[in-house]
Amino acid sequence: MAKTKVVVVDDSALVRSILTEIINRQTDMECIGAAADPLLAREMIRTLNPDVITLDVE
């Protein structure tokens, strides 16, 4: 079965790093990208076509 593809979006580099590490430890999930701002996130989502997006909303 294919892994669930995840993109992490958060302005904090520390949070992006921690979430990416946690996600990649899962056997059924893979972090395929991480973005610090909405413009970069939008491009990543368009090109990478993730199954799941984690999004920090303030």
- Domain span at residue 17 reads 4-55
Number of domains in the chain: 1
Q: What's the first-to-final CA gap in the chain, in angstroms? A: 35
CATH classification of the domain holding 45: 3.40.50.2300
pLDDT by residue (tens digit) across 5-52? 999 999 999 999 999 999 999 999 999 999 999 999 999 999 999 999
b (16+ CB within 10 A) / e for 27-54: eebbbbbbbeeeeebeebeeeeebeeeb
Question: What pLDDT, on a 0 to 100 scale, did the predictor assign at position 1?
Answer: 82
Distance in angstroms (rounded) separating the CA atoms of residues 48 and 4: 12
The whole-model pTM stands at 0.92
